[in-house]
Amino acid sequence: MFSKKQKTCATAIIVAAGNSRRMGQNINKQLLLIDGIPVLAHTLGKFDAAETISDIIIVTKPEDILTIQDMVKEFGIRKVSDIVPGGKTRQESVSRGLSCVLNESLVAVHDGARPFISPEKIDELVMAAKAFDAVAPGIIPKDTVKSITSDRVVSHTPDRNTLRLIQTPQVFRADVLKLAYIRAEECGFEGTDDCSVAENSGIEIHIIEGENTNIKVTTPEDLPVAETICDYLNSKKEERKYL
């Protein structure tokens, strides 16, 4: 538990405005069910339970705003302060969410389709961001990674210990991330995540250990994996009740 004296808080921006093209279904993947509960509801529940999260801003497609408002009520998510329409790209959507965040705040940007981040890991990241200004969770690849040429010929094999698969939430001082987004827009840079936008602005990112269960639900094959992870996490929760 965090004492009032040491408590650090952040605003969470949950990005749920994608088109779900890789899912191959004419539906927002955030609304697909895992264990009978929408993906996004799982995600919101984790941030609602995190002690360091003071409020939650959801960025979604305009046509899904009313549906998500109903979801927030149905699942008793207490910390949602705003639901805003997203843009054409993830970067534009995050920028719209950032416009609702005070400069002096910490901000945790998370993919709505990552439903299994633990509240404890969220708290760890927020506390780390207080010291480092910009942090992200990452895990060491389990497979050997090859760098290849344009002809698909292996050029070299990097040391896995120097590599990380980067997850979310990525946590920043809000003024630092806002400035990075302004600079990215000015130079036409389009990043794949918030860290890459920050890196483009010369910001140093500190990586802490991520969670193997913190997968992103992106393709149809991810759904049965997500169900298995959900069952596993539920069983671990039940075990802790008897300890």
Q: What's the chain's average pLDDT?
A: 93
**Averaged pLDDT for residues 87-95:** 95
Distances in Å between the Cα of 23 and the Cα atoms of 13, 116, 117, 223 are 23, 18, 21, 10
Give the length of the chain: 243
- Which domains occur in the chain, in start order? 10-241 (3.90.550.10)
Residue 16's DSSP bridge partners are 60
Statement: residue 15 has pLDDT above 70:
yes
What percent of the chain has a predicted confidence (pLDDT) above 70?
A: 94
User: pLDDT tens across 212-243, in order?
Assistant: 999 999 999 999 999 999 999 999 887 777 76
Provide the pLDDT for residue 24.
Answer: 67
**Averaged pLDDT for residues 75-85:** 97
**Averaged pLDDT for residues 52-66:** 96
User: pLDDT tens across 102-147, in order?
Assistant: 998 999 999 999 999 999 999 999 999 999 999 999 999 999 999 9
Provide the pLDDT for residue 20.
Answer: 64
Q: How confident is the model at residue 96 (pLDDT cuts 50, 70, 90)?
A: very high
User: pLDDT tens across 18-52, in order?
Assistant: 776 667 666 778 999 999 999 999 999 999 999 99
User: pLDDT tens across 158-191, in order?
Assistant: 999 999 999 999 999 999 999 999 999 999 999 9
Statement: residue 5 has pLDDT above 60:
no
Provide the pLDDT for residue 3.
Answer: 44
Q: How confident is the model at residue 6 (pLDDT cuts 50, 70, 90)?
A: low
Residue 111's DSSP bridge partners are 15
Contact 73, 51 (CB under 8 A): no
Question: How many Å apart are CA 108 and CA 240, to the nearest integer?
Answer: 28
Dihedral sign (CA 215, 85, 8, 166): positive
Q: How confident is the model at residue 8 (pLDDT cuts 50, 70, 90)?
A: confident
Provide the pLDDT for residue 237.
Answer: 81
The 3-state secondary structure of the chain, one letter per residue: CCCCCCCCCEEEEEEECCCCHHHCCCCCHHHCEECCEEHHHHHHHHHHHCCCEEEEEEEECHHHHHHHHHHHHHCCCCCEEEEEECCCCHHHHHHHHHCCCCCCCEEEEEECCCCCCCHHHHHHHHHHHHHHCEEEEEECCCCCCCEECCCCCEEECCCHHHCCEECCCEEEEHHHHHHHHHHHHHHCCCCCCHHHHHHHCCCCCEEEECCCCCCCCCCCCHHHHHHHHHHHHHHHHHHHHCC
Q: Tell me the whole-structure pTM to 2 decimals.
A: 0.93
